[in-house]
């Protein structure tokens, strides 16, 4: 995990930018480096060393045989050894990111991003041409933002360093590459579906799902630092933890769960940990600790989306605990499964199979605005690296290509994520009641059902925001107009940190196809939700 920054222009120097660049130093707490990569190009890098942990792996990194090429990259390239063997490259730094320089020099930017298997946001400067090139991974697991001020351009892992210096800031579009000689164009290299799958039966499809997810986990075990897992006790994190436990060759696996008093997730997580034999840590925190963390979380994730903020608080607090109480630096989680595998409760109401397929694709295409934030940003803000096997490129592409009729569910005879559950049935990886545990709303899992997390927040916000302020001020907000006091409160905090950069999210995350006027994104508010 790292924080990267690049600047092409003439207005600013390191001295004038350093303070803002250091706002994201928590992404790479071990060291910071910067250098001029050209007459008008500045690179900076905050490092958390996971691979190639010696100073040879420091960045900005130059090509060993061509110092005209300079790289900064926040990422993990899981197939770097395979690419080196395939093309006869002799890597010397131990860093997986080094392969990007070799690929770029040999093939150019487009083939480079197409062949990389990993999660990344990188920028390359070619001093021979004076151009910057950049690319982001297909699902946007690693963050990236591009900011402009006239002809001046900044690219960074987070928006924080750009706010004071750029008149326009936008997320760098996932699955695209970019070149500074045509800075308005993002060239798409990855498409989320369109694969013609060979498997014809449900059994064969489930076998393929199993193979791909196992491979997604195994390739992500690449690390020179200790690995741990977030374990909520739900299907997604439990399944990932069980696979990590199966294939991890390091010291005894540490698992971590968090919840408020009475949390059902804590109970299930302990059961899974006992079943797998992990060194488990339960982090029980008070309502006050959860509430006190909200503003910090909004600052870290750079979002005011209601459900994203709610879900990120727990990840932030448990990651803080991990940093303070363990040696783990690489943290697996189960994020992305709901988007990829049709896990959201509202999807059962899709009017047609075509609509279900389209909605699943939309959820994946937009995940970098929402669920990925709690995965990367909440965890990285505590100097840790998150790994998300469910957002593996091959796994996502295959699952989205499965015929929609096989992904439908009724929530009774066929549960959400049925194919995923069935793919691992009968293998003894998890207790059956965990493998087939019905999805519960996040707010219900992390808290007592008698006093759900989103209700706790809403009571808290009622004391901070008057009805008059909400009605007066929310009406002035044309983009993502808040419909709840809670949403307005998050927006108010966000604006205090980031000014009028509300365009960092396109809209609020909300369920579709509800037959009532639902204003709250929690599944708990849906008519047919079952606790």
Mean pLDDT by 10 residues, the chain (531 residues): 94 96 96 93 96 92 96 98 98 96 98 98 97 97 97 97 97 98 94 81 97 98 97 96 96 95 91 98 95 97 96 95 97 97 94 95 96 93 97 96 94 94 97 89 62 88 96 96 96 97 96 77 56 46
Question: Residue 495: is it exposed, middle or buried by C-beta count within 10 angstroms (0-12/13-18/19+)?
Answer: middle
Cα separation values, 235 from 78, 85, 196, Å: 25, 37, 28
pTM for the whole structure: 0.95
DSSP single-letter state for residue 25: G
How many other CB atoms are found less than 10 A from the CB of residue 67? Answer: 9
Reported residue count of the chain is: 531
**pLDDT tens digits along 250-304:** 889 999 999 988 888 999 999 999 999 999 999 999 999 999 999 999 999 999 9
Distance between CA atoms of residues 266 and 366, nearest Å:
30
Q: What is the largest CA-CA distance in the chain?
A: 68
CB burial string 209-231: b at 16+ within 10 A, e below: bbebbbebbbbbbbbebebbbbb
Distance between CA atoms of residues 523 and 442, nearest Å:
8
How many other CB atoms are found less than 10 A from the CB of residue 53? Answer: 16
CB 512 within 8 A of CB 358: no
Domains of the chain: 2-188 (3.60.20.10), 202-525 (3.40.50.620)
SS3 478: coil
Give the model's pLDDT for residue 412.
87
CA neighbor of 1 nearest in space, from 124, 138, 175, 120:
120
Cα separation values, 212 from 163, 173, 366, 456, 461, Å: 40, 25, 22, 39, 43
Helices and strands of the chain, counted as H and E runs: 21, 17
Place of tokens 């549960």: 415
To 10 degrees, what angle do helices 353-365 and 393-401 make? 160
CA neighbor of 12 nearest in space, from 45, 46, 41, 35:
41
Place of tokens 């999660």: 119
Give the model's pLDDT for residue 420.
98
Question: Residues 2, 166, 179, 206: which is the catalytic one?
Answer: 2
Q: Two tokens at 477?
A: 């907000």
DSSP single-letter state for residue 97: T
DSSP single-letter state for residue 479: T
CB 178 within 8 A of CB 133: yes
Q: Which residues are within 8 A (CB) of 329 and not within 5 positions of it... i.e. 6 or more apart? A: 48, 50, 223, 225, 226, 383, 384, 385
Give the model's pLDDT for residue 148.
96
Distance between CA atoms of residues 346 and 450, nearest Å:
23
Asked about 2 being catalytic, the answer comes back as yes
Question: Residue 502: is it exposed, middle or buried by C-beta count within 10 angstroms (0-12/13-18/19+)?
Answer: middle
DSSP single-letter state for residue 389: G
CA neighbor of 234 nearest in space, from 435, 528, 410:
435
How many other CB atoms are found less than 10 A from the CB of residue 426? Answer: 8
Give the model's pLDDT for residue 531.
46
């Amino acid at each position: 995990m790292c924080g990267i920054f690049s600047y092409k222009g003439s207005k600013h120097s390191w001295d004038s930018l350093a303070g803002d660049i250091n706002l994201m130093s928590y992404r790479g707490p071990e060291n910071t480096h910067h250098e001029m990569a050209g007459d008008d190009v500045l690179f900076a890098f905050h490092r958390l060393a996971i691979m190639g942990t010696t100073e040879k792996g420091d960045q900005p990194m130059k090509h060993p045989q061509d110092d005209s090429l300079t790289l900064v990259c926040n990422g993990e390239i899981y197939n770097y050894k395979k690419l080196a063997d395939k093309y006869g490259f002799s890597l010397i730094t131990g860093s997986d990111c080094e392969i990007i320089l070799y690929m770029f020099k040999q093939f150019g930017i487009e083939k480079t991003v197409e062949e990389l298997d990993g999660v990344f946001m990188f920028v390359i400067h070619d001093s021979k041409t004076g151009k910057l090139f950049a690319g982001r991974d297909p699902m946007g697991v690693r963050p990236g933002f591009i900011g402009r001020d006239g002809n001046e351009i900044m690219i960074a892992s987070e928006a924080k360093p750009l706010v004071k210096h750029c008149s326009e800031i936008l997320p760098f579009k996932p699955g695209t590459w970019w070149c500074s000689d045509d800075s308005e164009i993002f060239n798409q290299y990855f498409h989320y579906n369109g694969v013609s799958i060979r498997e014809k039966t449900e059994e064969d499809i489930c076998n393929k799902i199993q193979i791909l997810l196992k491979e997604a986990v195994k390739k992500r075990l690449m690390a020179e630092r200790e690995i741990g897992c977030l374990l909520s006790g739900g299907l997604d994190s439990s399944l990932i933890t069980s696979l990590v436990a199966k294939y991890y060759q390091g010291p005894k696996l540490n698992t971590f769960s968090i919840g408020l008093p009475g949390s059902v997730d804590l109970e299930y997580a302990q059961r899974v940990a006992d079943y797998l034999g992990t060194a488990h840590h339960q982090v029980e925190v008070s309502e006050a600790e959860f509430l006190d963390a909200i503003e910090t979380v909004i600052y870290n994730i750079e979002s005011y989306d209601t459900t994203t903020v709610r879900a990120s608080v727990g990840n932030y607090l448990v990651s803080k605990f991990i940093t303070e109480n363990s040696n783990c630096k690489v943290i697996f989680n189960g994020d992305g499964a709901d988007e990829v595998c049709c896990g959201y409760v509202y999807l059962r109401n899709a009017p047609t199979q075509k609509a279900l397929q389209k909605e699943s694709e939309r959820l994946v295409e937009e995940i970098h605005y929402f669920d990925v934030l709690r995965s990367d940003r909440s965890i990285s803000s505590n100097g840790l690296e998150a790994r998300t096997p469910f957002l593996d490129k091959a796994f996502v592409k295959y699952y989205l290509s499965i015929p929609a009729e096989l992904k439908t569910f009724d929530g009774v005879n066929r549960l959400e994520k049925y194919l995923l559950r069935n793919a691992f049935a009968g293998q003894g990886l998890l207790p059956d009641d965990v493998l087939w545990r019905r999805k519960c709303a996040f707010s219900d899992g992390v808290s007592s059902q008698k006093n759900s997390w989103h209700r706790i927040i809403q009571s808290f916000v009622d004391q901070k925001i008057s009805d008059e302020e909400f009605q007066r001020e929310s009406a002035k907000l044309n983009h993502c107009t808040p419909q709840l006091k809670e949403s307005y409160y998050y927006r108010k905090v966000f604006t205090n940190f980031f000014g009028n950069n509300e365009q960092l999210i396109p809209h609020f995350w909300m369920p579709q196809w509800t037959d009532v006027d639902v204003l709250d994104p929690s599944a708990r508010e849906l008519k047919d939700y079952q606790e």
